[in-house]
């Protein structure tokens, strides 16, 4: 296969002086869990990154279309994010939320202002799985119900509770983890029973959820969990009206609607800042991770003041949640997305690579 040539780029990777590829491979095989996977027959060792590019130990440059599994939202080692991280690292690395710190407080305000409706209270954690675990807890405590509706083909993380929400055998170990979770038909307009040419597809997929509520639960549910576009499951964009109908059924059954924005948040869809906006709904809880920190171990659960109050029944504590370095990076990411209009950039690339997007881009013209 002919290897395409990359355009010129003014960055010279540092000479690599660490252990060789073979040594790293040996160390990894000997000391890291065998559950790890690598891509490609000949895996790549990545030792440096600069914006959209990464470099291997030999200084070869690659276009990082995967962006660290959808995490590098504004570019590898983006100079502004780097400057803010460095400034914070050199000042104070960690305390915990037991003490006041300006960055986490300011960041909470900035992030809340990005969300619609009453969504305005943030809990910071370290990963998407943890954010989903916390959202699950909040939904169950707030509603007093236990049953959860999720979707087949969903991915919500690898910790036990998130594995229960996930619906791919690839990521589900053979041990009890899904108690109380019911998985509805994936609203997949390509492979599912109702396709793009059926204007009622969204309502029909939603009807399966109503059916699940009526027949597989006590008729009352704690909530509905869904990625706003299924990411790991193959970028499944739901038919119009799906969320609007589901949210109605869930709320009628006493439940909360939870949007997993781990992959779709922070302008990645191009048309909107949040993926759920493409379906014209406002969730009760939003979970976010990955692109939130451009590589910082940062994630968040954002909800309404009323729902947030439920956790105040006990102490909720998370050692690294709200860490000043992660929050400084999170803040910088929000600023860069706005300043560089990355939402619009994502939309422009969407138009080039996926024509149907052209007709529905309200926010970015």
Ligand X SMILES: Cc1ncc(COP(=O)(O)O)c(C=O)c1O
* Residues in touch with ligand X (CB under 6 A): 127-129, 132, 155-157, 227, 231-232, 260, 262-263, 289
Contact between 228 and 261 under an 8 Å Cβ cutoff? The reply is: yes
Q: Which is nearer to ligand X, 217 or 323 (CB)?
A: 323
| Least Cβ distance, residue 260 to ligand X (angstroms) | 5
Angle at 262 between CA 153 and CA 103, to 5 degrees: 165
| CB 210 to ligand X: min, Å | 24
Q: Do the bridges between strand 299-303 and strand 121-125 make them parallel or antiparallel, or are there none, so unpaired?
A: antiparallel
The least CB distance from residue 115 to ligand X, in Å, is: 17
Closer to ligand X at the Cβ: 49 or 128? 128
CB of 318 to ligand X, least distance (A): 14
CA distances from 35 to 60, 86, 330 (A): 28, 33, 30
Nearer to ligand X, 74 or 299 (CB): 299
**Can you tell me the distance from the alpha carbon of 83 to that of 90, in angstroms, rounded to the nearest whole number?**
11
* Min separation Cβ 231 and ligand X, Å: 5
What is the phi/psi pair of residue 292, to 5°? -60, -30
d(CA 146, CA 217): 9
Q: Cβ distance 358 to 351 under 8 Å? A: yes
Residue closest to ligand X (Cβ): 128
CB nearer to ligand X: pick between 240 and 260: 260
Nearest 5°: phi and psi at 187?
Answer: -75, 70
- Taking the least distance from each CB to ligand X, the nearer of 126 and 217 is 126
């Amino acid at each position: 296969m002919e290897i395409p040539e990359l355009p010129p780029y003014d960055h010279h990777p540092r000479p690599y002086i660490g252990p060789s590829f073979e040594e790293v491979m040996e160390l990894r095989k000997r000391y890291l869990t065998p559950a790890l996977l690598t891509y490609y027959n000949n895996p790549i060792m990545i030792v440096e990154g600069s914006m959209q590019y990464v470099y291997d130990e030999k200084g070869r440059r690659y276009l990082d279309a995967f962006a660290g599994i959808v995490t590098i939202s504004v570019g590898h080692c983006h100079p502004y994010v780097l400057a803010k991280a460095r400034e914070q690292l050199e000042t104070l690395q960690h305390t915990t939320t037991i003490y006041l710190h300006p960055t986490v407080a300011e960041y909470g305000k900035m992030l809340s202002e990005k969300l619609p409706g009453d969504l305005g209270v943030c809990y910071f954690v370290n990963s998407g799985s943890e954010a989903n675990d916390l959202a699950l807890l909040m939904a169950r405590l707030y509603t007093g119900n236990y049953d959860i509706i999720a979707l087949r083909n969903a991915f919500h993380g690898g910790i036990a509770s998130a594995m229960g929400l996930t619906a791919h055998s690839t990521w589900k170990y053979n041990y009890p983890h899904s108690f109380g979770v019911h998985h509805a038909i994936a609203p997949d307009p390509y492979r599912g029973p109702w396709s793009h040419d059926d204007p009622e597809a969204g309502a029909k997929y939603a009807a399966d959820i109503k059916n699940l509520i009526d027949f597989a639960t006590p008729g009352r549910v704690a909530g509905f969990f869904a990625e706003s576009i299924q990411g790991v499951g193959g970028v499944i964009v739901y038919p119009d009206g799906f969320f609007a109908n589901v949210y109605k059924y869930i709320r009628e059954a006493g439940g909360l609607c939870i949007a997993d924005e781990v992959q779709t948040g922070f302008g990645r869809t191009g048309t909107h800042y949040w993926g759920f906006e493409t379906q014209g709904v406002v969730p009760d809880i939003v979970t976010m991770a990955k692109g939130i920190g451009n590589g910082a171990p940062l994630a968040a659960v954002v909800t309404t003041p009323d729902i947030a109050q439920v956790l105040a029944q006990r102490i909720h504590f998370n050692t690294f949640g709200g860490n000043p370095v992660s929050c400084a990076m999170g803040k910088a990411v929000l600023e860069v997305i706005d300043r560089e209009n990355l939402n619009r950039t994502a939309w422009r690339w969407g138009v080039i690579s996926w024509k149907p997007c052209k007709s529905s881009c309200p926010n970015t013209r």
